[in-house]
Amino acid sequence: MNDMRILERDVSANTAKITARGVQVYYGESHALKDVDVDILSGTVTAFIGPSGCGKSTFLRCLNRMNDTIAICKVKGEIRLDGADIYDKRVDPVVLRAKVGMVFQKPNPFPKSIYDNVAYGPKIHGLTRSKTDLDEIVESSLRKAALWNEVKDRLHAPGTGLSGGQQQRLCIARAIATSPEVLLMDEPCSALDPIATAQVEELIDELRSQFSVVIVTHSMQQAARVSQRTAFFHMGHLVEYGETGQIFTNPKDPRTESYITGRIG
Ligand SMILES: Nc1ncnc2c1ncn2[C@@H]1O[C@H](COP(=O)(O)OP(=O)(O)OP(=O)(O)O)[C@@H](O)[C@H]1O
């Protein structure tokens, strides 16, 4: 792990943005997540790591109710955003997902122009009163996603015509256009080359000043580079959660140690 630049920034003063207690997830009869308790801090990048099938993406999807879209999936327990139960019957999942945005593994821009990809969310959520407002949101979201300079002269070209790395930054711009409070990223760099990966990682670090970011990653180097907190999942259990430097240099649980030293995975 010598090549990893472990960020030792103090995030201990940050407050809990999301609290999860006793979260269980079932796909039909299969018990995929077992009794997960975690506090996701504000202003912090939290990495979810662990071997394939351990439940990282399942738990990530619990945080903005994306699992609601899977018919056989049942979520039990409690997840609160700023103290409010996100599974309360009165919560509209579409509104929740504007507050807790998501970026997926494969860049998935809509078959629309670059401008319309970013404008879509603010339009459907009625966040703008005029075309000028919308133009401003599109520009500022593309700037925050570090894409503005590359696309400002072709905003009406199709989003699908961009390179993979640009498409992923477009998806990040689209997710942040609704001013979310939390950004969930499910292996956002897995389809990107090293240069695009570095750009997205740099962006993640900048974004955490405005959002809590939660990232699922298979790359321990990436977790160490971008996150301040790391959660290690194994066979549906959240085995260990703590400050990233501690998890990678001084894990408490032998399963975490085996994973980070490459003995399980
Ligand atoms: N839509 C689904 N229907 C049924 N079972 C599912 C579904 N999605 C995930 N699972 C199961 O839930 C468990 C956890 O899967 P999940 O995708 O959350 O793991 P993961 O840690 O994100 O894996 P990976 O790193 O391979 O993406 C696995 O056993 C998986 O087969």
Phi and psi of 248, rounded to 5°? -85, -25
Output the CA 64–ligand 1 centroid distance in Å.
17
Can you list the positions of beta strands (E) in 42-94? Answer: 45-49, 73-81, 84-85
- Bridge partners of 53, per DSSP, are none
Provide the 10 A C-beta neighbour count for residue 3.
Answer: 7
CB neighbours of 217 closer than 8 A, spacing ≥ 6? 47, 48, 49, 187, 189, 223
Q: Are 109 and 159 in contact (CB under 8 A)?
A: yes
> In 3-state terms, the chain is what percent helix, strand and coil (to 5)?
35, 25, 35
Average pLDDT per block of 10 residues along the chain, 265 residues long: 45 82 97 97 96 97 95 97 96 94 93 97 90 96 92 98 94 93 94 86 89 94 95 98 96 96 75
Structure confidence at residue 37 (pLDDT): 97
Output the CA 53–ligand 1 centroid distance in Å.
5
**Counting runs of H as helices and runs of E as strands, what totals does the chain give?**
10, 10
Q: How far apart are CA 130 and CA 97, in angstroms?
A: 23
CB 184 less than 6 A from any atom of ligand 1: no
CB 234 less than 6 A from any atom of ligand 1: no
Mapped onto helix, strand or coil, the DSSP state of residue 43 is coil
Q: Whose CA is nearest to atom 2 of ligand 1?
A: 27
Q: Are 165 and 193 in contact (CB under 8 A)?
A: yes
CB 56 less than 6 A from any atom of ligand 1: yes
Q: Are 136 and 158 in contact (CB under 8 A)?
A: no
- In what order do the strands lie in the sheet containing 229-234? 100-103, 182-186, 212-216, 45-49, 229-234, 237-243
Tokens of 114: 């670059």
Structure confidence at residue 13 (pLDDT): 63
Chain CA centroid to CA 100, Å: 9
Q: How far apart are CA 244 and CA 10, in angstroms?
A: 11
Query: In testing the pocket of ligand 1, which one of 56, 215, 233, 264 has its CB within 8 Å of the most ligand atoms?
Result: 56
Q: Are 216 and 183 in contact (CB under 8 A)?
A: no
Chain CA centroid to CA 50, Å: 16
First to last CA, the chain: 16
Structure confidence at residue 229 (pLDDT): 97
Report in angstroms the alpha-carbon separations of 24 from 160, 184, 253. Answer: 37, 19, 21
Tokens of 70: 């899977």
Structure confidence at residue 158 (pLDDT): 98
Supply the ipTM of this predicted assembly. Answer: 0.97
Phi and psi of 160, rounded to 5°? -70, -10
